[in-house]
């Protein structure tokens, strides 16, 4: 039996950025994507985004919980004890947007601690238990993503092992790993073995090459090997194209023709 084609989604926070955000949905559809993802939708009216999504014909597959002041360098608030109330309000807001957009995955970024690591982890565990319970009732899968500490100095959860330890401590069946191949390559490598070992615990995959965080084929990662392995393993989830195109977005999709 031939392998099922992989499903790729366009990350609209990285691709088609020359366009206003609502216009990127249609651009992704015209480029052949059936799914889109992005960092945050919250500055836009959810009804307007829902109409744009329906008109363009793409599926919204993922976005992040509110993560603080991104422009000022914050990378999540889930580990900050002084902002638990803000985090919990943000979970409810994210669910409202997810329901309006038909999105069944929300990603949590732990953040950069303002207290001791032990206190930050305890706060993160409590917040993830809260978020996992609420999202489960809404029929939405919650994800936790490690970020590399080269691009995000001080980030609390930086490796697959750290993320899985947190997921085990939280103890919710509704919490899975978001595995970003770029971040993983920077911090730990061993990509194929990690995918083989932990694929049942991975709820979403994102890609970019290293160095440079550009499209596959511009760096050191053997993406054809990894994609073939994912097909062999029967991965049926989405793979998010979260890369900075080395030129125009539309010129960065040649590598996709073989896989979708």
* Catalytic residue of the set 37, 59, 215, 242: 242
Contact call for residues 124 and 118 (beta carbons, < 8 A): no
Is 145 annotated as catalytic?
A: yes
Q: Is the dihedral of CA 172, 145, 28, 13 positive or negative?
A: positive
Q: How far apart are the C-alpha atoms of 109 and 158, rounded to whole Å?
A: 11
Show the tokens assigned to 103: 């999105």
Contact call for residues 206 and 239 (beta carbons, < 8 A): yes
Question: Is-cis flag, bond preceding 211, omega within 30?
Answer: yes
* Catalytic residue of the set 96, 145, 188, 220: 145
- Beta strand pairing status for 202-207 and 238-241? parallel
- Beta strand pairing status for 105-108 and 202-207? unpaired
Q: How far apart are the C-alpha atoms of 224 and 85, rounded to whole Å?
A: 44
Could you give the residue numbers annotated as active site? 145, 242
């Amino acid at each position: 039996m031939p392998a099922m084609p992989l499903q790729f989604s366009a990350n609209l926070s990285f691709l088609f950025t020359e366009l206003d955000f609502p216009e990127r949905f249609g651009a992704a559809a015209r480029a052949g994507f059936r799914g889109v993802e992005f960092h945050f939708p919250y500055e836009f009216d959810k009804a307007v985004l829902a109409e744009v999504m329906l008109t363009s014909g793409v599926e919204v597959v993922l976005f992040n919980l509110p993560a603080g002041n991104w422009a000022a360098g914050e990378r999540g608030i889930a580990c900050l004890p002084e902002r638990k109330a803000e985090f919990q309000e943000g979970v409810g807001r994210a669910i409202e947007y997810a329901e309006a957009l038909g999105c069944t995955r929300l990603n949590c970024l732990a953040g950069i601690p303002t207290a001791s690591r032990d206190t930050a982890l305890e706060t993160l565990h409590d917040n993830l238990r809260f978020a996992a319970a609420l999202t489960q009732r809404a029929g939405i899968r919650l994800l936790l993503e490690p970020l590399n500490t080269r691009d995000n100095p001080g980030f609390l959860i930086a490796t697959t092992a750290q993320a899985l330890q947190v997921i085990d401590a939280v103890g919710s069946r509704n919490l899975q790993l978001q595995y970003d191949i770029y971040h993983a390559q920077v911090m730990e490598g061993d990509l194929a073995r990690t995918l083989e070992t932990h694929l049942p615990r991975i709820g979403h995959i994102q890609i970019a090459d290293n160095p440079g965080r550009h499209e596959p084929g511009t760096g050191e990662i053997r993406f054809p090997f990894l994609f073939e392995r994912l097909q062999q393993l029967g991965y049926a989830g989405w793979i998010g194209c979260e890369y900075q195109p080395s030129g125009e977005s539309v010129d960065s999709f040649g590598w996709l023709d073989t896989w979708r």
